[in-house]
């Protein structure tokens, strides 16, 4: 198959930050290894040594930018484009309740699909060759939070409170320490010597910090569509403790951590858990690798080329499945 992977926002390869970019990079690489030809239609400045790269121009009709030899188009995020060739759209976020979706929409987890009346989903995977292999001989002395700390729904301060209650040091990856919002949220936590803000870290530093961490604390107060922070932490040998919102209850099986509806339950789980870094690492490698993801999409591409739709009915927001449990 000749496959076009399109994302007008993505600049590849990613050097520091970027979730979708890492996903589509690994997807394209593994599709090529499976014998397919891949073309990227992405942001200016992108380059790739295993696939053709074209620059996405949002001012032009997307159909004019799709080469004639393409068999199937894989869009990311964008629902607004009308594509004349077989196509699918991977939804990396949470569409608004009133947003018109698509018959060929693919979600990231069973939970996300259910929240939009669908059963079509593919787990994100990463190319673990892009990550340093963790050491299992190091002492794991603290916990961590990974995400946009300034984004309230990610609940970084909820993670800090859980760590403090559990008498654990916590490293915050993904946000600055001294800003008005953080001071307003809890000055006493900023002054706590066991709360360390690492700021925005590159991939190498992120892995260094996580390699010495026991666990990711991830009490998000929104429906996480997937959560690359979860699988990156698992790969580094960390257990995961989070809320039951979005993907978390689905991804966090009991042998790798716990999900709960209260901070008290997560604190107790963090204290009493029997940690097994090597198991967490192998679980991530097996279940959330780019190769597994690519093979799943390969099947969907075949369905599309055969002229079939992926969803039996148009996906739509389901109110009862989108209620969020807030952990303070």
> What average pLDDT score do residues 178-198 get?
69
Percent of the chain, pLDDT > 70?
94
Q: Indicate whether 110 and 187 sit together in one domain.
A: no
Q: Report the phi/psi class of residue 18: left, alpha or beta, with left for phi > 0 and alpha for psi in -120 to 50.
A: left
The two three-digit tokens of residue 228, written as one number: 């690359």
pLDDT at position 82, please?
86
Q: Looking at the domain assignment, is residue 328 inside a domain? A: no
User: Model confidence at 293, in pLDDT bands (50, 70, 90)?
Assistant: very high
**Inter-CA distances, 134 with 207, 252, 257, 288, Å:** 8, 20, 18, 16
User: Model confidence at 76, in pLDDT bands (50, 70, 90)?
Assistant: very high
**Inter-CA distances, 272 with 156, 267, 275, Å:** 22, 9, 9
> What average pLDDT score do residues 46-55 get?
97
Residues ≥6 apart with Cβ < 8 Å to 46: 10, 11, 12, 13, 40, 53, 55
> What average pLDDT score do residues 127-138 get?
94
Dist. CA 313–CA 321, nearest whole Å:
18
Q: Indicate whether 302 and 261 sit together in one domain.
A: no
Q: Looking at the domain assignment, is residue 112 inside a domain? A: yes
Q: Indicate whether 211 and 299 sit together in one domain.
A: no
Q: Indicate whether 260 and 142 sit together in one domain.
A: yes
Q: Among 99-108, 190-199, 230-239, whose mean pLDDT is lowest?
A: 190-199
Q: Looking at the domain assignment, is residue 273 inside a domain? A: yes
Tell me the sheet residues that pair with 146.
Answer: 173
Q: Indicate whether 178 and 192 sit together in one domain.
A: yes
Domain count, the chain: 2
Q: Looking at the domain assignment, is residue 37 inside a domain? A: yes
pLDDT at 128 over 80: yes
Neighbours of 87 (CB within 10 A): 21
Q: Looking at the domain assignment, is residue 141 inside a domain? A: yes
Torsions phi, psi for 105 (to 5 deg): -85, 140
Q: Indicate whether 233 and 147 sit together in one domain.
A: yes
pLDDT at position 17, please?
63
Q: What is the CATH number of the domain that holds 271?
A: 3.40.50.2000
Q: Indicate whether 91 and 162 sit together in one domain.
A: no
Task: Give yes or no for a contact between 317 and 115, defined as CB atoms under 8 angstroms apart.
Answer: yes
Strand duo 37-42 + 52-55: pairing: parallel
Radius of gyration of the chain (CA): 20
Q: Looking at the domain assignment, is residue 327 inside a domain? A: no
Please name which of 315, 261, 325, 295 lies closest in space to residue 95, comparing C-alpha atoms: 315
The two three-digit tokens of residue 246, written as one number: 């979005």
Residues ≥6 apart with Cβ < 8 Å to 203: 16, 130, 131
For the four alpha carbons of 244, 247, 249 and 254, in that order, the dihedral sign comes to negative
Neighbours of 15 (CB within 10 A): 10
Q: Among 52-56, 110-114, 204-208, 231-235, whose mean pLDDT is lowest?
A: 204-208
User: Model confidence at 16, in pLDDT bands (50, 70, 90)?
Assistant: low
pLDDT at position 188, please?
64
Q: Indicate whether 87 and 133 sit together in one domain.
A: no
Q: Indicate whether 120 and 24 sit together in one domain.
A: yes
User: Model confidence at 264, in pLDDT bands (50, 70, 90)?
Assistant: very high
pLDDT at position 118, please?
98
pLDDT at 218 over 70: yes
* Residue 149: domain span: 129-286
Q: Looking at the domain assignment, is residue 326 inside a domain? A: no
pLDDT at position 189, please?
65
Q: Indicate whether 160 and 267 sit together in one domain.
A: yes
Q: Looking at the domain assignment, is residue 69 inside a domain? A: yes
The per-residue pLDDT of the chain, averaged, comes to 93
pLDDT at 183 over 60: no
Q: Indicate whether 266 and 142 sit together in one domain.
A: yes
> What average pLDDT score do residues 45-62 get?
95
Q: Indicate whether 264 and 143 sit together in one domain.
A: yes
């Amino acid at each position: 198959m000749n496959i076009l992977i399109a994302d007008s926002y993505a600049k590849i390869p990613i050097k520091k930050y970027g979730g979708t970019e890492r996903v589509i990079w690994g997807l394209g690489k593994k599709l090529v290894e499976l014998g397919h030809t891949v073309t990227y239609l992405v942001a200016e400045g992108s380059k790739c040594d295993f696939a053709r790269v074209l620059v996405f121009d949002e001012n032009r009709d997307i159909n004019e930018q799709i080469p004639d030899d393409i068999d199937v188009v894989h869009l990311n995020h964008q629902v607004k484009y009308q594509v004349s060739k077989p196509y699918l759209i991977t939804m990396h976020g949470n569409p608004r309740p009133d947003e018109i979706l698509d018959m060929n929409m693919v979600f990231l987890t069973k939970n996300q699909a259910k929240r939009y009346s669908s059963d079509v989903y593919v787990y994100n995977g990463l190319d673990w060759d892009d990550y340093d292999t963790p050491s299992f001989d190091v002492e794991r002395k603290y916990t961590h939070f990974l995400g946009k700390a300034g984004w309230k729904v990610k609940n970084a301060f909820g993670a800090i409170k859980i760590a403090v209650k559990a008498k654990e040091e916590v490293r915050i990856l993904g946000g600055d320490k001294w800003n008005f919002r953080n001071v307003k949220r809890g000055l006493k936590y900023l002054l706590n010597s066991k709360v360390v803000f690492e700021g925005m870290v590159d991939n190498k530093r992120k892995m260094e910090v996580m390699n010495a961490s026991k666990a990711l604390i991830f009490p998000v107060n929104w429906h996480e569509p997937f959560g690359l922070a979860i699988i990156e932490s698992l790969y580094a040998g960390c257990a995961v403790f989070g809320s039951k919102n979005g993907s978390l209850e689905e991804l966090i099986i009991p042998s790798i951590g716990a999900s709960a509806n209260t901070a008290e339950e997560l604190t107790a789980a963090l204290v009493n858990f029997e940690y097994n870094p090597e198991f967490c690492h192998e679980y991530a490698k097996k279940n959330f690798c780019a190769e597994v993801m690519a093979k799943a999409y390969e099947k969907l591409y075949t369905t599309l080329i055969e002229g079939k739709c992926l969803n039996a009915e148009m996906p739509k927001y389901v109110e009862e499945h989108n209620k969020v449990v807030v952990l303070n």
